[in-house]
Structure formats: C-alpha cells, structure tokens
Amino acid sequence: EDKVVQSPLSLVVHEGDTVTLNCSYEVTNFRSLLWYKQEKKAPTFLFMLTSSGIEKKSGRLSSILDKKELFSILNITATQTGDSAIYLCAVASPGGYQKVTFGTGTKLQVIP
C-alpha cells in the first residue's frame, strides 16, 4: 500500500524563524511529489517535484526532492503569521487514473 508520512505533525514557531517540513514516501511507482498549503478551505498548490536535487523556489518557500532516500523537504524562511496553515505532501503515481496519495499534513502555527 502506498504511504506518505509527514513530520512533524504540528509545529509552533515565532515570526522570523525558519522551518523545515518533512515528507517521506513509499510508493510502488513514483511520478512526482506535490506540496500544498491548506488554510481554511481547500488546498492550494505550491510545488511539483519530479527530479532529485533540483530545488524549486517561490519567494520564501523552497522545496527539494531526494528520490534515492524517498523524501522531500519544504523550507519556509522568515516565517510570517500568514504562513500558518496545514502543509500537505502528496505523491502521484502513474497509471490510468494517476493516483495521488496524501500525507497527514503538518500543521504550522506562526506566532507574532
């Protein structure tokens, strides 16, 4: 059974801190890894990673994938209260319906 595990489950930091969120996976067939941010409603897309060692960056957020060790990290630098959310990691597998398996999420709370 495909599995995606995120850690930590929950995290509280002060504004300005840097955080690293972890995602490890075990899937039969890997195609890509995706990061989403979920605030009050549905998740919003952050990154899609397919190749090892290539960092994707968007503002203060960055992510990298290690396909050998089967994990990815999401970094957020100079955190702001607006970064408070649940961060979801998902792995897409090839196939007729391109199945996507989600992790349980990491709840990040940034306090002033």
Partner 1 sequence: GAVVSQHPSWVICKSGTSVKIECRSLDFQATTMFWYRQFPKQSLMLMATSNEGSKATYEQGVEKDKFLINHASLTLSTLTVTSAHPEDSSFYICSARDHLATDTQYFGPGTRLTVL
**Could you list the residues that contact partner 1 (CB under 8 A)?**
31-32, 34, 36, 41-45, 48, 50, 88, 92, 97-100, 102-105
Q: Which of 35, 65, 63 is nearest to 51 (CA)?
A: 65
Beta carbon of residue 16, minimum distance to partner 1 (angstroms, whole number): 27
Beta carbon of residue 17, minimum distance to partner 1 (angstroms, whole number): 23
DSSP per residue over 4-57, as a string? Answer: EEEE-SEEEEETT--EEEEEEEE-SS--EEEEEEESSSS-EEEEEE-STT--EE
- Specify the residue, 97 or 112, whose C-beta has the smaller distance to partner 1: 97
- Specify the residue, 47 or 83, whose C-beta has the smaller distance to partner 1: 47
Beta carbon of residue 10, minimum distance to partner 1 (angstroms, whole number): 10
- Specify the residue, 79 or 103, whose C-beta has the smaller distance to partner 1: 103
Which helix (H) or strand (E) segment holds residue 106: the answer is strand 106-111
Q: Tell me whether strands 106-111 and 10-14 are parallel, antiparallel or unpaired.
A: parallel
